[in-house]
Structure 1
Amino acid sequence: MSFGKDLVKLVKLRLTFLVVFSASISFLIGSQIVTATNVNGVINWVNWAKLIVGGFLITGAANGFNEIIEKDLDRLMTRTADRPLPAGRMTNGQALVLSLLMGMGGTYLLGSLNLLTGFLSVFAILLYAFVYTPLKQKSPISVFVGAIPGALPPLIGYVAANPTIDQIALILFGIQFIWQFPHFWAIAWVLDDDYKLAGFRLLPTGKRDRVSAVITFVFTLVLVPVSLLPTFYKFGGYYVGGVSLVMSLIFLYQAFVLMRTLEIKSARKLMFGSFLYLPVVQLMFLFDFLGKK
Structure 2
Amino acid sequence: MSTTQQSYIAVEESKAAAKPISLARFSDYIELIKPRISTMALVSVALGYTLASAHSWSLLPLIHALLGIGCVAVGCNSLNQLLEIKSDALMTRTANRPLPSGRISLSEVLIFGIAAALFGIFYLAIMVNLLTAFLSMMTLVLYVLVYTPLKRFTSLCTTIGAIPGAMPPILGWTAAGGTLNTSSFTIFAIMFFWQFPHFLAIAWLYRHQYHQAGLKMLPAAEPARGTVGWMCVIYATLLIPVSLLPQYVSLAGTLYSAVAFVLGVGYLIFSIRFLIDESRKTARELIWFSLVYLPIMLLTLTWDRLQLFN
Query: What range is the shorter-chain TM-score in?
Result: over 0.9
| CA 280–171 in structure 1, closer or farther in 2 if over 3 Å, else same | same
Correspondence for 1:9: 31
TM-score computed with the length of structure 2 as normaliser: 0.89
Correspondence for 1:92: 106
Correspondence for 1:25: 47
Cα deviation for residue 194 of structure 1 reads 2.0
Q: Which runs of 5+ in 2 are unaligned?
A: 1-20
Instruction: Give the whole-Å Cα distance in 1 for the aligned partners of 2:208 and 2:53.
Output: 44
Cα deviation for residue 163 of structure 1 reads 4.0
TM-score computed with the length of structure 1 as normaliser: 0.94
Cα deviation for residue 232 of structure 1 reads 2.7
Instruction: Give the whole-Å Cα distance in 2 for the aligned partners of 1:101 and 1:153.
Output: 20
Correspondence for 1:183: 198
Instruction: Give the whole-Å Cα distance in 1 for the aligned partners of 2:124 and 2:196.
Output: 27
Q: Is the 1:183–1:274 contact (alpha carbons within 8 Å) kept by the matching residues of 2? A: yes
| CA 110–80 in structure 1, closer or farther in 2 if over 3 Å, else same | same
Q: Which runs of 5+ in 1 are unaligned?
A: 33-40
- Residue by residue, what CA displacement relative to the aligned partner does 1:137-173 show, whole Å, maximum 9, x if unpaired? 2211000000011111111110110241011111111
Cα deviation for residue 66 of structure 1 reads 0.7
**Aligned CA-pair RMSD:** 1.3
- Partner amino acid, structure 2, of 1:93: S
Matched, 1:140 2:140: no
Q: What is the percentage of aligned positions where both structures have the same residue?
A: 33
Which of 88, 91, 96 is residue 74 of structure 1 equivalent to?
88
- Partner amino acid, structure 1, of 2:30: V
Instruction: Give the whole-Å Cα distance in 2 for the aligned partners of 1:144 and 1:179.
Output: 12
Matched, 1:106 2:120: yes
Which of 262, 283, 286 is residue 267 of structure 1 equivalent to?
283
- Partner amino acid, structure 2, of 1:178: F
Which of 210, 229, 238 is residue 195 of structure 1 equivalent to?
210
Q: Is the 1:205–1:211 contact (alpha carbons within 8 Å) kept by the matching residues of 2? A: no
Correspondence for 2:140: 125
Q: Is the 1:114–1:163 contact (alpha carbons within 8 Å) kept by the matching residues of 2? A: no
| CA 42–70 in structure 1, closer or farther in 2 if over 3 Å, else same | same
Cα deviation for residue 52 of structure 1 reads 1.4
Corresponding residue pairs, total? 285
Moved over 6 A (4+): none
